[in-house]
Structure 1
Amino acid sequence: MKKHTEFTFNLPALRIMENEHHLLRYLMADWHPIVLSFERNAYTIEQGYQAIQLLRTKMMEFLDPFQNHLKKEEEYLFPLLSQYVGNEQGPVLAVEEEHKEIEAYIGHFLHHTNGDVKELSLQQMKDIVRDVGEAFEVITFHFVKEESVIFPMVKEILSPTEQYTLFEKLYSSII
């Protein structure tokens, strides 16, 4: 079984995207334990206040690189693939829809934690944090889908010239 730090693809454009997935998984591993602790009822209300504020901070730190990654996919990768497979149905549309779903979950969490969290009950905090848990699940499966469906399409469908052009466009940091 492949370790999360190993690369599957040799194509430079895909190596960039896969490397970004590794970074984002690493960042997710920093905030997901907080979500799990809320799910396991591990916090008192005072601990919950601290945990939800820490989670908000970690989500804000995660959001910038994550959105930068999505932007690269939406501006360069998906339009290029859509020329061959379309975007009105199928895998490209599916992953684009997941982008919206993930951003909605994270946005909902950030919206509801923007004020004084001490006005929230422990149950309200758990309900709000559930959005971050859902985002984690969607992101996890989203990366698997990209790595098992979208990335192989890039390798098989795009010409060497298109692959190189894609590499040039993707070659930038998300942090």
Structure 2
Amino acid sequence: MQKIASYLDQDHRRCDDQYAVAESDVILRHWDDATSHFSVFLQMFELHLEKEERVLFPRLDHALGNGYGPTTVMRGEHRQMRELLTDMKSAITRQDSDTFFDHADTLRIMMRQHNLKEEGILYPQADHVLAAQADDVVASMEQMEGSIA
């Protein structure tokens, strides 16, 4: 049986690693590489959010008997991060590192807090509440990867 938490924790790390590459490109003002690497990061990050929003959250809401609990907070934070990332992508297009890093600072704080909630509370709760479905949940998320690749 695979654990949902370990699967999604690894997903976080892959996204973090790809973001670091793109951020390094911006620091070095390698704008073509930044554009490419940031686009890859955005695809990876959006896929991660979709895995949570389309697979994990509905099952967790169903198991907990509500749709207004912790997943509502997480969805709201996802919206905020998407908005910041849109602004960051625009800053790369304009080759504006100052604006990029203004948004990056906000994103970094938001992501750190968001990931702590997910990795420390939500994912372990999902492992507990969805234990009987864990393999199916992970398989459904992996299937989403296959449909994108």
Q: Structure 2 length normalisation: TM-score?
A: 0.79
After superposition, give the CA deviation of every residue in 1:47-84 in whole Å (9 maximum; x if it has no partner). Answer: 7xx35554333321211111111111110000111111
Q: Does 1:28 align with 2:19?
A: yes
Structural mapping, 1:88-127, within 5 Å: 88=68, 90-115=69-94, 117=95, 125-127=97-99
Instruction: Say which SS state the counterpart of residue 171 (structure 1) adopts.
Output: helix
1:86 corresponds to: 66
SS of 2:93's equivalent in the other structure is coil
- 1:163 is matched with 134
Q: Which moved more, 1:23-32 or 1:74-83?
A: 23-32
- The answer to whether residue 3 in structure 2 is matched with residue 12 in structure 1 is yes
Deviation at 1:85, TM superposition (A): 5.3
Question: Highest CA radius of gyration, 1 or 2?
Answer: 1
Query: Given the superposition, is the C-alpha separation of residues 25 and 33 from structure 1 closer, same or farther in structure 2, using an over 3 Å criterion?
Result: same
Q: Assess if the C-alpha contact under 8 Å between 2:4 and 2:127 holds in 1.
A: no
1:142 pairs with 2:121: no
Name structure 1 gaps, 5 residues minimum: 1-9, 38-46, 118-123
Q: How many residues align?
A: 145
Name the SS for the 1:87 alignment partner: coil
Whole-angstrom CA distance in 1 between matches of 2:123 and 2:108? 21
Name the TM-score, length of structure 1 as normaliser.
0.68
What is the aligned partner in structure 2 of residue 5 from structure 1? Answer: none
The change in CA–CA distance for 1:128 and 1:29 in structure 2 (over 3 A counts) is: closer
C-alpha spacing 1:137/1:34, structure 2 compared with 1 (3 Å): farther
Higher helix share: 2
Given that 1:32 and 1:133 are in contact with CA atoms closer than 8 Å, whether structure 2 keeps it comes out as no
Q: Is the 8 A contact 1:32 1:136 kept in 2?
A: no
**Could you say if the C-alpha distance between residues 152 and 114 of structure 1 is closer, same or farther in structure 2, counting changes exceeding 3 Å?**
same
